[in-house]
Structure 1
């Protein structure tokens, strides 16, 4: 239930920065998808570490003070969240369609989330409550992303403007979710719930992960827009 939005823009920003950090990667032509993929992969780790001169914040680790992941049947508040592992994202595909102002990406990531939770209500088929530490391990989550990219003019130069995005994802391996101190320490109730949670980590992520994803998307998307408005298009691509 963690940080897939950060992963998205780490890959997107890595591709667009593929000529700026010339000691690490080279710029690519639009039709050269092999170059784009290799350039993006080479930039994942330094991008995740942060590039302050291009308004790129540190993304590994990335932290959130509070995220409301509640649903109509469940109160779920996440606090003091730390996510690690984004630097190990694997890029599968990067393609830009200039005629349609689109960028298409596919990537796989595994991340670890540590934080705290407060929960009361229905999760899956269970009536749940608890407050305490939260641990999530997300393994091999594969994301397909579409981003709208437009040219804008500023001070006589062309810049890229990322205006919108949409994504889908699939969990390609088993995820682990652990809520400590369920039912205020009542072990009889907690043990039964833990067994179901242990066997249904992916289902839990799919059910309650969207608010965490969306919060991450909005924060990092704003940083990517700022970065694109700092660097002109000719610094980011060969064409």
Structure 2
């Protein structure tokens, strides 16, 4: 009778976890093609959000506040909204089991809006403004390496991402729009040199301005994924 009860409980537990993540196609960690496809198949579920599993919606992805301080340039960004995470395409996902890291290569459209307050210089041009900013491109490439930290809880194995140790690079591969509205309080004559610089040197300026925003995006996604991973034992996520 006890054995039967244990069997029923075990089957119930397995069914409960499996029903929570039917969108996860389990892969052997060495199977790069499976990992890449499984990541793509699960993307919409992650971006739509699964509150009962700790996943906040990420389409659109929102950020509260980020500050850029570089040389003589200071920009406070706030109330940001990125439309496009659900349209990302995973190009490559790979896990190194002995060294416990995960590599992710993906491309995403970026349509980011928010509020900015700027002061200082984008050498050699002065900039000052308080208003709306907009950054848009059809294809931004992101290459990410993050550590995987295994741990045990209640007799099961879990993993979490080492969010503080993430390494990443980015490249806006296609033509990019970068605009700041209400420069110099709407003084078009003073704003003209800045607008010209933004139009003619967009890629370099994005490389200078984007890092703290991208860091905030990466941190938010990493925290969200860890909230999910803390709910589901690894045996329901991988082929051992």
**TM-score normalized with structure 1 length:** 0.86
C-alpha contact 1:19 1:235 (8 A) present in aligned 2 = no
What is the CA–CA distance in structure 2 between the aligned matches of 1:51 and 1:31, rounded to whole Å?
28
CA deviation map 1:139-170 (0-9, x unaligned): 32111111111221111111112223211122
What is the CA–CA distance in structure 2 between the aligned matches of 1:75 and 1:171, rounded to whole Å?
22
RMSD across aligned positions (CA): 1.9
What is the CA–CA distance in structure 1 between the aligned matches of 2:145 and 2:226, rounded to whole Å?
15
What is the CA–CA distance in structure 2 between the aligned matches of 1:19 and 1:209, rounded to whole Å?
39
1:90 CA displacement: 0.7
What is the CA–CA distance in structure 1 between the aligned matches of 2:87 and 2:139, rounded to whole Å?
11
Determine the structure 2 residue equivalent to 1:9.
none
**Secondary structure of the structure 2 residue equivalent to 1:99:** coil
Determine the structure 1 residue equivalent to 2:65.
66
1:232 CA displacement: 0.6
What is the CA–CA distance in structure 2 between the aligned matches of 1:180 and 1:114, rounded to whole Å?
11
1:218 CA displacement: 2.6
Determine the structure 2 residue equivalent to 1:42.
41
**Secondary structure of the structure 1 residue equivalent to 2:98:** helix
CA deviation map 1:95-150 (0-9, x unaligned): 11111111111101111111111111112532111111111113321111111112
Determine the structure 2 residue equivalent to 1:229.
230
1:19 CA displacement: 9.7
What is the CA–CA distance in structure 2 between the aligned matches of 1:25 and 1:229, rounded to whole Å?
15
Structure number with bigger Rg: 2
C-alpha contact 1:29 1:238 (8 A) present in aligned 2 = yes
Aligned residues: 221
1:74 CA displacement: 1.2
- Which runs of at least 4 in structure 1 moved beyond 3 Å after TM superposition? 18-21
CA deviation map 1:13-49 (0-9, x unaligned): xxxxx99632x45211112211111111111122111
What is the CA–CA distance in structure 2 between the aligned matches of 1:132 and 1:57, rounded to whole Å?
28
User: Which structure ranks higher in relative contact order (CA pairs < 8 Å, sequence separation ≥ 6)?
Assistant: 1
What is the CA–CA distance in structure 1 between the aligned matches of 2:29 and 2:224, rounded to whole Å?
23
In the TM superposition, 1:80-229 aligns within 5 A as 80-163=79-162, 164-229=165-230
C-alpha contact 1:20 1:236 (8 A) present in aligned 2 = no
What is the CA–CA distance in structure 2 between the aligned matches of 1:19 and 1:166, rounded to whole Å?
33
**TM-score normalized with structure 2 length:** 0.85
1:219 CA displacement: 3.0
1:185 CA displacement: 1.3
C-alpha contact 1:19 1:237 (8 A) present in aligned 2 = no
